[in-house]
Amino acid sequence: MKTVLLGSVAALVAAASASAQSIDYATMQDMFGEPVTLGATGAPQRASEVPATMIIITREDIARFPALDIADILGRYAGVDVDRYTRGQADVSIRGYNQPYNPRLLVLIDGRQVYLDHYAYVNWSALPVQLDEIQQIEVVKGPQAALYGFNAVSGVVNIITRDPSQDEWASVTASAGSGEYREASGVFGRQLGERFAVRASLGAGKADEFDGGVRGSEEGYTANEPWDRVRGALELQGQLTDSIRFSAEATYAHTIQTELLPYYQLGYTDTQLASYKGELEADTGLGLLSARVYRNDAYVGYSTTSAQSDNIPFDNSVTVGQLQLLSKVGANNTLRFGAEYRHNELDPTLSASDGVTEYDVASLSAMWNRTLTATLEATGAVRFDSLSLSRTASPNPALSVFEQADYDRTIEEFGYNFALVWIPAAGHTVRASTARGVQVPSLVEFGLAHSTRVSTPFGTIPVGISGDPSIEPAIVTAYELAYETGLGQSARFQAALFRTETADYKGIFGTAPDLLPPAAPTLQFLFSNQGDTTVNGLELSLEDANQADAWRWRLSATALDVEDDLTVNQVAFVYPVDFEASTPSYRLKADLGWTQGRWSLDGFASVTDEHTAIRQAQFGLITREAIDSQIELSARAAFALTDQLTVEANAAQLNYGGGERVNAGPELESRLWASVTASF
C-alpha cells in the first residue's frame, strides 16, 4: 500500500495547507487513476486512502451540472442535503440537520474561511468564485475540528481554484433564462514570465424573485425585489526562490436577495463582503512551512418588512493568522504541527454606545499519520482552542439584562480526529473513525442586543432580542465505519455507517419570553442551549469508474434516523426546532450522462421522503406544515460549436413548473436557462 505522503505527489507539492493550489491535480489524477487531496489531513493523499469519508468533485464534474452556484452541485451527492429557499438562497448540510443559516458546515476557498461568523452561516450566492475557475471541490464528512477548528462539526467544503502557474485559461460566459435571469462572467489565468502568475475573475447576475417568494400578506413582508449579485477575485502568485512561494489575493462580493432567516421568517438582505489574503510557503530542512494571514469584512443589512427599510445592520470583521509545518519523518511517518490566532468582532447594534462584541482565539494543533503495516495506516489529530470573549461597553439596559462584565469569559475546548485505514486487498478500503468537534456560539448568539415590537391582543409592545454571553458551545461526537471497493473496472461502491451525537445544541429564540419584568426591562427572548440530538445514518453509493466510456452514471441512497432529546417544546411548540420531524428519513439520487463527439447530455433525479417544515409567518406564530415526498428532475445539454465555443441548455427542478412546496421556504420554481461560453 502506498503511504499517505505519496512520493510522486510530494515532489510536486508546494504547500502543506488544506488550500494548497500548487499540486498539479489533473496530472496526479491521471497518474493514479483517482483524485488527490489535502482536505482530510493537510497532507497529500489519494482519495481511496484518506482517513475520512470524502467526496471529490473534479473540474470535469462541475462542467456537466445544471448549476448556478456551488450549492446546486453539492446536492447531487450522497449525504449532502440542499434546501433552496429563494432565488439566491440555499442552505447545505451534511448528514442531516439542515436549517436556514445552517451553522454546522465550514466552507473554505483556497484555505480562507467564507463561513460568515456573525450569524454562523454560508451565503452560497456570495462566494467570490466562478464555477469556471474551480479546480475541484472537496467535501469532508463528519467533524473535522482537529484540522479546521471551531464549527467544522458536520463537515468541511474546501473549494480549490485553478493554479495559473501550472495552467493558463481565459473564458467568458453569458447566460439568460426564466424569471428574467441574466448573468455574465469571465475568468482568466496567465503566467507572467517564469516566476509569477495571475488569476482573475468577475461576474454579475440578476433575476426576479420566485413569484411565490413572499407568500403574500401571510408573511407581513412586502419586498419582492430582484435577486442581484456581483463577485470578483484577483490573485497574484510568485516563486521568490526555488523553495519559497507566495500568493496575495483580494475578493469582493455583493448580493441583494430575499432569504429565509434562522427564525423561519422571510427577510430582505443586503450583503457586502471583502477579503484580503497573503500566503508564504517554504520548503525547509524541517519540512514544508506555510504561513497565511487573511481578513474578512462583512456588512449585512436585514429587513423583515420591506426592501431597504427597517434595516438592521451587522458589521463583522475577522482577522486570522495561521502557521503550519508538514514533515515526513522516515518512510512511515507524516507529522503536521499548526498554530492559529483569530480576532473576531461584531457591531450588531443601532447605537455605537452599546459596544462591540469580540473574541480572540489562540489554537495549537498536531497530526500524526503512521503506516503500521503494508495494509494498515493510522491517523491521529488533536487541536486545542482558547477563546477569550469581551465587549467594549455594556449593552443598552433598555434592550438587555447583561452588563459589560458578563462578557469577560474564557472558553477552552479540544477537538480530535482518529482513524484507521485498512486495505485488505487491492481495490478494497475499510475505515473506522471517531471525532470530536466544537461548535462555538456565533457573535450574534453571544452579543446581539436588539429591540422590536410585537402584536398582542392589547396592542403592540416592545420586546428585546438578545444574545447570551453565558451560552455554551455545542459538542459534536461522531463514530463511523466505512467501506469502498471497485467492482471490476467499471464501477465503484461505497458504504458508510455513522452515528453523530450533539450535546448542548444551540438554538434560536422562541416565541415565549425567556425573561419577564421586573427581571428584565421588557420581555426578553434569548439564544440558548436547548438539549441534545443524535442521528444514526447509512450512506450507499455506486458509480461509474470507467473514465473511457461515453456513458457515466451514479446512484446513491442516504437513510437518517434522528432522535431529539431537547429541553424546549416540552409543553407547547414555541421554539423553531424539531429535527426528528424536519429531517427526511431518506434521499435517493441518480445521475446519468453521455458524451460523444461535440455533444454532452446529463440528467439528474432525486427522491426525498416526506417530512415536516417549520414556518413562522409572523413573529410569535410558529407552525408546522407537512411536506409530501417529492421527486426532482434536472438536466443539461451542451454542444461544442468549435473547440473554443460551447452552447448549453439547463433545467433545474424542471418538473416544479410555476411552484412546488418542498421545504420551509416559498414555493420553489423551475429554473431554465441557456449559456454560451467562449474560451481564448
Helix, strand, coil percentages (3-state) for the chain, rounded to 5, are 10, 55, 35
CA distance 420 to 417: 10
The whole-number pLDDT of residue 134 equals 97
CA distance 318 to 343: 6
List, for residues 216-245, the tens digit of each pLDDT value.
Answer: 444 555 556 789 999 999 999 999 999 999
DSSP letter for each residue of 599-613: EEEEEEEEEE--EEE
Report the Cα 296 to chain-centroid distance in Å: 16
Contact 317, 298 (CB under 8 A): yes
The whole-number pLDDT of residue 123 equals 97
CATH architecture of 7-679: Beta Barrel (2.40)
**In the chain, where are the structural domains located?**
7-679
The whole-number pLDDT of residue 348 equals 64
Query: Residues of 621-652 as b/e, b for ≥16 C-beta within 10 angstroms?
Result: ebeeeebeebebebbbbbeeeeeeebebebbb
Q: What angle do CA 206, 207, 211 make, to 5 degrees?
A: 160
Residue 171: C-alpha distances to residues 51, 133, 160, 249, 680 (Å): 37, 9, 18, 20, 6
φ/ψ of 349, rounded to 5, equals -110, 165
Is the sign of the CA dihedral 658, 662, 667, 673 positive or negative? negative
Average pLDDT across each block of 10 residues of the chain; the chain has 680 residues. List them in order: 35 37 67 73 75 91 94 96 94 96 96 94 97 96 89 94 95 97 98 96 96 52 78 97 96 95 90 98 94 97 67 91 95 95 84 82 96 96 97 87 95 96 94 97 92 77 91 98 90 96 96 91 93 98 86 97 96 93 97 96 98 85 91 98 98 92 89 97
The whole-number pLDDT of residue 379 equals 96
